Amino acid sequence: MMKLNLKETSLGIEFGSTRIKAVLIDRAHRPVASGAHEWENQLVDGVWTYSLEEVRTGLQDCFAALKAEVLEKYGQELRTVGAIGVSAMMHGYLPFDKDGRQLAEFRTWRNTMTGPAAEKLTELFSFAIPQRWTIAHLYQAILNGELHVKDIATLTTLAGYVHWQLTGEKLVGLGEASGIFPIDPATLDYDEARLKQFDALHSFPWHVRELLPRGLPAGEPGGALTERGARFLDPSGTLEPGIPVAPCEGDAGTGMVATNAVRPGTGNVSAGTSAFAMIVSDHPLGVHKEINVVTTPAGEPVAMVHCSNCTSDLNDWAGLFADFAGAIGAPVDKGALFTLLFNKALEGEADGGGLLSYNYFSGEGVTGLDRGRPLFTRAPGARLSLANFMRVHLMSALATLKIGLDILRQEEDLRIDRLCGHGGFFKTPGVGQRLLSAAAGAPVTVLETAGEGGPYGMALLCAYMLWRAPGESLEDYLDQKVFAGAKAVTVTAGEEDAAGFNAFLARYQAAFGLERLASELL
């Protein structure tokens, strides 16, 4: 049985929306063990939340599963690792008083209760502040007259909270910090002028900077695992304290790292139930309500196009076809059905033959829609076939993302040299990649390790902290030491595909009033 040098490993743990996952990697940056815990958010008194008790018990169950796999595969007790790092869903609101008592329920990124605050702060800062950002939640609590606000001593995110429990340090990685409050690219710190603007909005006995966790760039030490932190993670008493801990990050930052998309001109697209694109810029960006500006873990500016809707409508149509197959006595495996339908889309006309689909199950900030209604329609002369039907639904899943990417290319002159795709949309080889390439006008790569996702990215940030050479940038470390020999497939769409997607999008935008009317009448 092969043994691990546990001091030469790094551990990334990520709190996703439906799963907490841990990935342990070795000195060659290869995943060697993992553990997971399933969980789900709860709607409590109109607020989407997770209890901090669930955070603790879920983390412990995830770590226990990792320990069990290490013991089974390598015959070793997981007593130590080279470094640990935590990441989580970005943004949200977790306030505590001076004694560390939680003052309000954890308000996750999913809540859309901060519209007035986000609008006011966007105008005040001349910087797009989305509803899900931590500072928007704080200001909305002020506008609401919530009594707990006067007692806040610490305001943090889910990742920041767990890091605090593990190390006693109130800090986050720079990418995570950029979803709390705007970052000044010159200082790689919270923007001082905007901090003062915010303080002028309230009369509480604190300055907002005092409440927020420090932001540290990738590679900086984020503290060490305390005895209390070791028991928070592993109540069995096996895990030893003193392990170095990297600054915690948000899921956007770890996704960028896991897909090697941290250098200007690169980007990644995550496409599943929702979709978002992260494009690293080489220059400051203007203000667009459709675009959020965050940073890489190293501090480079990143344009984020976040779309609430992607594959839900596709999944329902696939379910309908599965029902039909069963009804005629030819049931089909779900995975095989998706592969068949996705590949069929490549046989369709480049513009979808005049068909039209809107995939909106919920509202969509990019297109200014408060609520959505899935809609499929066509003119009498459109060519309805299975191939065209599937192609249109795949393009519809990417249409809102393309609208945001077009703003970046046309109004911000943002260079997109290559994209890395990850998520269920890219599971059928070549299909999702080709259509995203047509939408974005750039090659799209899928990495063999992309399925490991955020916890793998966090483990890589731990590795960078431990093993980088003096002065070595995160970009160079990933390019030269992690992904240089990585297995990958790259697809570049042809001119016909790109022209067809543009024709479909013109039709999509010209008839968008249909979707608005459907959301009002249905």
Residue 491 near residue 432, CB atoms below 8 Å: no
Task: Look at residue 51 and tell me whether its pLDDT is greater than 90.
Answer: yes
Q: How far is CA 312 from the centre of its chain?
A: 17
What is the average per-residue pLDDT within 397-404? 96
**How many residues in the chain?**
522
**Is 224 in a helix, a strand, or coil?**
strand
pLDDT 10s digits, 168-214: 999 999 999 999 999 999 999 999 999 999 999 999 999 999 999 99
Q: What is the pTM of this model?
A: 0.88
Backbone angles phi, psi at 137, to 5 degrees: -65, -40
What is the average per-residue pLDDT within 276-292? 89
Q: Pull the structure tokens for residue 346.
A: 């490549």
User: Which residues contact residue 429 at a Cβ distance below 8 angstroms, ignoring those fewer than 6 apart?
Assistant: 489
Residue 454 near residue 258, CB atoms below 8 Å: yes
Q: What letters, b where the CB count within 10 A reaches 16 and e where it falls short, cover 108-125?
A: bbbbbbbeebbebbbeeb
Question: Would you place residue 143 in the very low, low, confident or very high pLDDT band (cuts 50, 70, 90)?
Answer: very high
- Which of 39-53, 247-261, 445-459 is predicted with the least confidence, judged by mean pLDDT? 445-459
What is the average per-residue pLDDT within 465-492? 94
Task: Look at residue 133 and tell me whether its pLDDT is greater than 90.
Answer: yes
What residue spans define the domains of the chain? 6-247, 312-403+500-521
Minimal CA–CA distance to 116: which of 182, 201, 183, 205?
A: 201
Pairing of the two strands 488-491 and 444-447 = antiparallel
**Which residue shows structure tokens 């066509």?**
378
**Is 107 in a helix, a strand, or coil?**
strand
Residue 447 near residue 420, CB atoms below 8 Å: yes
**Is 434 in a helix, a strand, or coil?**
helix
**Which residue shows structure tokens 């603007």?**
197
CATH 3.30.365.10 fits 6-247, yes or no: no
**Is 511 in a helix, a strand, or coil?**
coil
**Is 499 in a helix, a strand, or coil?**
helix
Cα–Cα distance measured from residue 173 to residue 464, given in angstroms and rounded to the nearest whole number = 13
Question: Would you place residue 308 in the very low, low, confident or very high pLDDT band (cuts 50, 70, 90)?
Answer: confident
pLDDT of the residue at 368? 85
Residue type at 68 in one-letter notation = A
Residue 477 near residue 468, CB atoms below 8 Å: yes
**For residue 273, what are the CA distances in angstroms to 253, 305, 310, 341, 371?**
19, 15, 5, 18, 16
**For residue 460, what are the CA distances in angstroms to 29, 30, 242, 295, 386?**
7, 10, 20, 17, 43
